[in-house]
Amino acid sequence: MKTFELSRSNGVGSPDVAGFFDPRTFSIQYVVSDPATGKCAIIDPVHDFDEKSGATATHHADELLAYVEEKGLEVEWVLDTHPHADHFSAAQYLKEKTGAPTAIGEKVVEVQKLWKKIYHWPDLQADGSQWDRLFADGDTFRIGELEARVMFSPGHTLASITYVIGDAAFIHDTIFQPDFGTARADFPGGDAHQLWRSIQAILALPDETRLFTGHDYMPGGREPEWESSVAEQRSRNPHLAGIVEGDFVALRDERDSELPMPKLILHSLQVNTRGGRLPEPEANGKRYLKIPLDALEGAAWE
């Protein structure tokens, strides 16, 4: 199975994009680098977790660090597109290893407030202070000489953002590969109408923009894929090509009503709403997750 691919720069202002596929969570992590300076950002890193044994590990994050070292890169940012519901974020671990600041969209505070109630966490600081920077829509930053811009992309979650870095956009849980469709919008705080508008903003980028998704579920048993283009998505994605907003919302509502919740949603959000920090050890030195029962009413069963 393919678990790595490098999408090379198209010239000045265009990044090299290394994608790393995690078969356990169907997630893709990215190292986005400036060929001119060797500066890079890591996007949506995975902290390994085995829900059956409760074991945690840093195999996938360490794979990113090994690539950075091999290529002689310097990490300037550790970025998340949103608080993930299907894997733990390795952002805090990578900050400790590299010293690079962490960042996420500013609306994460709304997600924190929502999950603070679900978990009954009165002491949770729901102010986004677990990250070094909270990005607003339209904010810009640099990775070496590369220009990067933030697009607010809600719908899948309240806080989802897209990173547009040169001719590459990191769209995570908005659009999947053209043969699969789009992301669900039924998580707490999700909204199919908002997701449609977020997708339309992404599809308004230039046709040749490289789009890098956050998951691939390998329909038909094909090899994992995670890169497409705006033009391909407009013409080939069955949820988007020739579809209007009302039809999209109806499609998403029907499809989402049949989908079970991700198996790690209740595990992941208590880590990812804290910037990728695992629970603090208790008196016996062990860490514990808190799983609320009957918190997501109406969710389909597998």
Model confidence, pTM: 0.97
Residue with tokens 């804290």: 274
pLDDT value for 169: 98
- Supply φ then ψ for residue 133, to 5 degrees: -145, 140
Q: How far is it, in rounded angstroms, from Cα 161 to Cα 90?
A: 18
Q: What is the mean pLDDT of the chain?
A: 97
Sign of CA dihedral 276, 281, 287, 288: negative
pLDDT value for 302: 84
Closest CA to 89 of 56, 122, 54: 56
The full set of domain ranges for the chain reads: 4-268
Lowest mean pLDDT among 123-127, 259-263, 271-275, 295-299: 295-299
pLDDT category at 47 given cuts 50, 70, 90 is: very high
User: Three-state DSSP class for 231?
Assistant: helix
Per-residue pLDDT of 212-240, as tens digits, reads: 999 999 999 999 999 999 999 999 999 99
Dihedral angle, C-alpha 291, 154, 104, 125, nearest 10 °: -50
Please answer whether residues 290 and 270 qualify as being in contact, where contact means their C-beta atoms are separated by less than 8 angstroms.
Answer: yes
CATH topology of domain 4-268: Metallo-beta-lactamase; Chain A (3.60.15)
> Where does the chain show beta strands of DSSP type E?
4-7, 16-22, 27-33, 39-43, 46-50, 55-57, 74-79, 88-89, 102-105, 133-135, 140-143, 146-152, 161-165, 168-172, 210-213, 227-229
- Supply φ then ψ for residue 93, to 5 degrees: -60, -45
Residues comprising the chain, all counted: 302
Query: What does DSSP assign to residue 131?
Result: S
Give the residue-averaged pLDDT of 148-161. 97
